[in-house]
Amino acid sequence: MLVVTGIIEVSEDSIEAARGLIGPMGTASRAEAGCHAYAFYQNLEEPTQIRIYEEWENQAALEAHFATPHMATFAEGLGKLELKSMDVVKFDRGETSPVRG
């Protein structure tokens, strides 16, 4: 399983437009084959920061996601925002175990 996670930060003037891109992207992505999780989270302490979290069955599923029309629309929309930073990474989750406190 692959995990994609990171933070997109936009200007205060762009946050509402960014939020408008998120809903359709999340809904369409979660319907894709091989998608186990796909979500965006707005940082309550830094409202211009949006965390991305995705889980994909394998690299083929992730590559198919990148080729979808909704991904193209999302990328085009991001290109119109005042993007302050974008740091998104992918890693292979491998084995997992519960977190114990």
Checking 11-14 for CB contacts under 8 A at 24+ apart, the result is 11/48, 11/81, 11/82, 11/84, 12/47, 12/48, 13/82, 14/48, 14/81, 14/82, 14/83
Residue 25 lies in a domain: yes
* 75 inside domain: yes
In a domain, 40, yes or no: yes
Instruction: Give the CATH number of the domain where residue 45 resides.
Output: 3.30.70.100
Examine residue 63 and state whether it is found in any structural domain, yes or no: yes
Q: What is the mean pLDDT of residues 37-51?
A: 97
Domain count of the fold of the chain: 1
Question: Is residue 101 one of the residues assigned to a domain?
Answer: no
Q: Which range marks the domain in which residue 53 is found?
A: 6-92
Question: Is residue 1 in some structural domain?
Answer: no
pLDDT per residue over 53-100, tens digit each? 999 999 999 999 999 999 999 999 999 999 999 999 999 977 777 878
Q: What are the φ and ψ backbone dihedral angles of 47, each rounded to 5 degrees?
A: -60, -10
Evaluated on CA atoms 6, 12, 18, 23, the torsion sign reads positive
Percent of the chain with pLDDT over 90: 91
| pLDDT confidence bin for 49, thresholds 50/70/90 | very high
**54 within a domain of the structure (yes/no):** yes
The vertex-32 CA angle with 16 and 19, nearest 5°, equals 5
Average pLDDT over residues 11-39: 96
